[in-house]
Structure 1
């Protein structure tokens, strides 16, 4: 790993917790998310960018995000390396409850590439905070995913696909991030073995 690299790939909450919500996971808006994250990780390693694995924890809740239940871990097929940084957050964004900002500054990182789960929650919120902190952010929408959620009226569900497009549009239009696809980021000829889901 090149410690002087100016770019870090943030892999946010690509963790087993979400796959334990079986109904949600089976209807995720982007079934290719793990394959696309794997492509981004392989590319980052190839070009010498930092890879930072971020997981979400909710201690004491008894649910799938409670570390005592064993699901607060990166999905094994993504195969994090021991040499890559890993941290666990307890807030929606990856900065407030961790030392992520200090780590990035220490390593001279000014550009972030964001992927992970969920598009409009931890990925989008981390992107907004990162932009406010002065980082240049590239948001890889097709390497994120989410699920449908009830609308405010309690009747009309907002589809995961619509949520992803909304996040992409707002982050771009409001200047929080540039939007790219996985293929744009890694190059059109990149290839990687599919990740088992």
Structure 2
């Protein structure tokens, strides 16, 4: 029988910038994801799962996350709750240039659960980094979120970006789930299932074949 996961919950960049600042999360609805982030933190505290809070900063005067600005401050959902470790960063991955890896290793954490913003940027970067460091990763799709982009490569809506990243993460990098299912797994002390590239592709191909 396998041992229960030794989880930590990482709460990435839940800052005012994404709620009423210059980078508004559009999908899922930010109020819905914020509520689930709060629920995840509360469940983690109840089950003695360590909570790590991450905060991103840019230099003073930057258009987003400027140090000292209201937008860079942690949102009340996170600021009002206790945490076990704090990480300040300036790059997408919460591991880059921080003590996160050492802190997790010292506590023999083997499973990292990711919530916060944004799905396609700091969340995904942290997920990839964690997997490459040998950690099992979980991703709560309803406690994360995206915003739309348009640039020289084209346009993608917030829903498209979030949905596609969730599918890709589940195919190899993380067990993608929702807050209710994660809380149940934490209370039961059981792991969540991650997919595979092969199975994900085979299922997609089978769905396109004539009946």
Q: TM-score, normalised by structure 1?
A: 0.83
User: What is the match of residue 170 of structure 2?
Assistant: 172
Aligned to 2:129, what secondary structure does the other structure show?
Answer: helix
List per-residue Cα deviations over 1:44-67 (Å, max 9, x = no partner). Answer: 011110000001111244333111
Aligned to 1:179, what secondary structure does the other structure show?
Answer: strand
User: What is the match of residue 182 of structure 2?
Assistant: 185
Shift of residue 21, structure 1, vs aligned partner: 2.6
Unpaired segments ≥5 residues, structure 1? 191-197
User: What is the match of residue 133 of structure 2?
Assistant: 133
Higher relative contact order structure (alpha carbons within 8 Å, sequence separation ≥ 6)? 1
Shift of residue 73, structure 1, vs aligned partner: 2.6
User: What is the match of residue 72 of structure 1?
Assistant: 72
* CA distance in structure 2 between the aligned counterparts of 1:9 and 1:141, rounded to whole angstroms: 14
List per-residue Cα deviations over 1:88-121 (Å, max 9, x = no partner). Answer: 1111110012110011111111110001011100
Q: 1:102 to 1:159 in 2, by over 3 A?
A: same
Contact 2:21/2:71 (<8 A) preserved:
no
User: Greater helix share, 1 or 2?
Assistant: 2
User: What is the match of residue 163 of structure 1?
Assistant: 161
- What is the aligned-residue RMSD (CA, Å)? 2.1
* CA distance in structure 1 between the aligned counterparts of 2:143 and 2:152, rounded to whole angstroms: 27
| Aligned residues between the structures | 179
* CA distance in structure 1 between the aligned counterparts of 2:95 and 2:20, rounded to whole angstroms: 25
* CA distance in structure 2 between the aligned counterparts of 1:17 and 1:58, rounded to whole angstroms: 12
User: What is the match of residue 111 of structure 1?
Assistant: 111
Q: Which runs of 4+ in 1 moved over 3 A?
A: 151-154
* CA distance in structure 2 between the aligned counterparts of 1:33 and 1:107, rounded to whole angstroms: 28
Q: Which has the larger radius of gyration?
A: 2
Aligned to 1:94, what secondary structure does the other structure show?
Answer: coil
User: What is the match of residue 26 of structure 2?
Assistant: 28
Shift of residue 17, structure 1, vs aligned partner: 2.3
Contact 2:26/2:146 (<8 A) preserved:
yes
